[in-house]
Amino acid sequence: MTMIELMPNKNRGAAVDTSAYSFAATEPIRNLHTSLDVYKETPLIKLNFPNIGTVYVKDESQRFGLKAFKGLGGVWAIYKVISDELGLNNPPLEEIFKHRAELAAMTFITTTDGNHGKGVSWAAGLFGCKSYVYMPKGTVEVRAQAIRDAGSATVTITDMNYDDCVKYTARLAREKHWHLIQDTSWTSYEEIPAQIILGYTTLAYEALWQMKYQRPTHIFLQAGVGSMAGAIAAVFAEVFKNNPPRVTIVEPTEVACFYETIRISDGEIHSATGNGQTMMAGLNCATPCELAWKILRRYAADAATISDDVAADAMKVLAEHKIISGESGCAGFALANAARNSPELRRELEIDEDAIIFVINTEGDTDPDNYEKILQ
């Protein structure tokens, strides 16, 4: 059953200092990313549709050979931890690689529903470190194997939900003195998530350059814990200070923590209340990242929920345009795609034929069997 719900953000938060997301402040992050042998700017595809104008799709399915954007945050956060452990300040990679013995003694750990763990596994392997990745119940084995194949990780699918799995890995990290690289924050755990969020700024500045700094009227950003959405919203707010684009958060109907937080609108973070069943596995996170929420509370105009069939339709449309988009990867575009044939949704989103919409294809076919099944 097709379902799309929109919840206006009627309680916008206090002003947020986005200077840390400026082009100058994030230069060391881009320097690291572009110094990697596998670095290549991912494509920005311009699509035009009746009723909704221009849609720019940033295709992260081609990032670092990982089929997802998450490596940007993981490699920057791990690089920062390693640099601090070695007493170095944003060193070139060749300087880090002089410390092979110290690197081999470092262990990183995380919880993931897929792509973040792949990024951590890849980045830890890149530096010659060990890593452990724990995944929530219901994870398909192909996602676990992709994490193993990406780098150095030992991967375990647990019988816990995502939030409980995060608590478990945090406890293991404390007990074993490993480095927790988690892409969500909570009180007393903010520095690493902040670096992960900053790592995603490379994606935003690539897109801005590719668009010749044209201002989008709308940005539709899928959110699990919201780290990527927070980073993109912060960059565009910093660049277009006087008139930031209209940002909408997009989540699965049954796992919609930002939607729920905006619905209650009491200034606190709230967990999703749905049944947790969605094919959009990368967005199956029940509680927002506190750091991301501080940004999105200010800059998100609203939150939208979409059912799985809305995502499936978007995957098919993107495939027609030669864009391979997985179940979570298509979510931002799915909202734009649904608006094509819905005057009511266009009115709610303030979209017309002159709109310029920016979305991110955050992943490719990370579950190839399901991808082929949907496209049949």
pLDDT digits (tens, 9 = 90+) for 32-78: 999 999 999 999 999 999 999 999 999 999 999 999 999 999 999 99
Q: Are residues 55 and 201 in the same domain?
A: yes
Which pLDDT score, from 0 to 100, does residue 114 have? 75
Q: Are 60 and 79 members of one domain? A: no
Which position among 70, 80, 365, 367 bears the catalytic label? 70
DSSP states of 39-78 as a string?
Answer: --PPPEEEEEETTTEEEEEEEGGGSTTTTBTTHHHHHHHH
| In a shared domain, residues 350 and 203 | yes
Residue 11: the pLDDT is 87
With 90 as the cut, is the pLDDT of residue 113 above it? no
Residue 349 lies in a domain: yes
What's the chain's average pLDDT?
96
Query: Are 367 and 285 in a shared domain?
Result: yes
| 156, pLDDT greater than 70 | yes
State how far the Cα of 39 lies from the Cα of 62, in Å rounded to an integer: 10
How far apart CA 335 and CA 354 sit, in angstroms, is 17
Cα(323)–Cα(340) distance, rounded to whole angstroms? Answer: 18
CA distance 249 to 169: 27
Copy the structure tokens of residue 206: 């690539």
List all residues 6 or more positions away from 84 whose beta carbon is below 8 Å from its beta carbon: none
Is residue 201 classed exposed, middle or buried when 0-12, 13-18 and 19+ CB atoms within 10 A define those classes? buried
**Is the separation of the CB atoms in 180 and 169 below 8 Å?**
yes
Is the torsion defined by CA of 199, 200, 204, 206 positive or negative? Answer: positive
* Percentage of residues in the chain having pLDDT higher than 70: 100
Question: Residues 113, 163, 302, 308: which is the catalytic one?
Answer: 113
Give the whole-angstrom CA distance, residue 323 versus residue 375. Answer: 12
Of 130, 149, 182, the last residue of a domain is 182
* 77 shares a domain with 63: no
Give domain status of residue 192, yes or no. Answer: no
Residue 189 lies in a domain: no
Residue 268: burial class (beta carbons within 10 Å; 0-12, 13-18, 19+)? exposed
Token match 């007493």: residue?
A: 87
Task: Answer yes or no: are the C-beta atoms of 222 and 362 closer than 8 Å.
Answer: yes
Report whether 257 contacts 285 (CB < 8 A).
yes
**What's the DSSP call for residue 367?**
S
Q: Are residues 266 and 250 in the same domain?
A: yes
b/e per residue, 163-185, with b = 16+ CB within 10 A? bebbeebbeebeeeebbbbbbbb
Q: How sure is the predictor about 152, in pLDDT bands with cuts at 50, 70 and 90?
A: confident
Angstrom distances, CA of residue 106 to CA of 124, 155, 170, 263: 9, 17, 16, 42
Single out the residue in 148, 182, 216 at which a domain terminates.
182
pLDDT tens digits, one per residue of 188-238: 999 999 999 999 999 999 999 999 999 999 999 999 999 999 999 999 999
In a domain, 191, yes or no: no
Identify the domain boundary among 182, 217, 238: 182
How many distinct structural domains can be found in the chain?
Answer: 2
The verdict on 307 and 243 lying in the same domain is yes
Statement to judge: residues 345 and 332 lie in one domain: yes
Same domain, 309 and 174: no
Q: How far apart are CA 308 and CA 251, in angstroms?
A: 10
| pLDDT for the residue numbered 62 | 94
Residue 148 binned pLDDT confidence (cut-offs 50, 70, 90): very high
| 365 part of the active site | no
Rounded to whole angstroms, how far apart are CA atoms 144 and 112? 10
- Distance between CA 28 and CA 23 in Å, rounded? 10
Is the pLDDT at 1 greater than 70, yes or no?
A: no
Given a cut of 90, whether residue 165 has pLDDT beyond it is yes
Say which residues have a Cβ less than 8 Å from residue 158's Cβ, sequence separation at least 6. 134, 135, 136, 137, 165, 168
285 contacts 227 by C-beta, under 8 angstroms: no
Q: Is residue 278 part of a domain?
A: yes
pLDDT digits (tens, 9 = 90+) for 5-35: 999 999 898 899 999 999 999 999 999 999 9
CATH number, domain with residue 328: 3.40.50.1100
Within-domain flag for 223:
yes
- Cβ atoms of residues 338 and 306 within 8 Å: yes
Question: What is the predicted pLDDT for the residue at 138?
Answer: 87
Question: In this structure, are 262 and 297 located in the same domain?
Answer: yes
Interatomic CA distance for residues 119 and 351, integer angstroms: 35
183 labelled catalytic: no
> How far is it, in rounded angstroms, from Cα 140 to Cα 227?
23
Q: Is 209 among the domain residues?
A: yes
pLDDT given at position 66: 94
Instruction: Report, as an integer, the average pLDDT of 346-365.
Output: 98
Please give the average per-residue pLDDT across 351-367, as a whole number.
97
Domain carrying residue 136: 71-182
> Which tens digit of pLDDT belongs to each residue from 295-315?
999 999 999 999 999 999 999
Claim to verify: residue 166 and residue 117 sit in the same structural domain = yes
Partners of residue 133 on adjacent β-strands: 110, 155
**Which tokens hold the place of 272?**
């999703």
β-pair type (107-111, 179-180): parallel
Closest listed residue to residue 295, CA positions, set 198, 213, 191 = 198
pLDDT surpassing 90 at residue 131: yes
Say whether both 356 and 208 belong to one domain.
Answer: yes
Burial class, 359, CB count within 10 angstroms (exposed 0-12 / middle 13-18 / buried 19+) = buried
> Does a structural domain hold residue 360?
yes
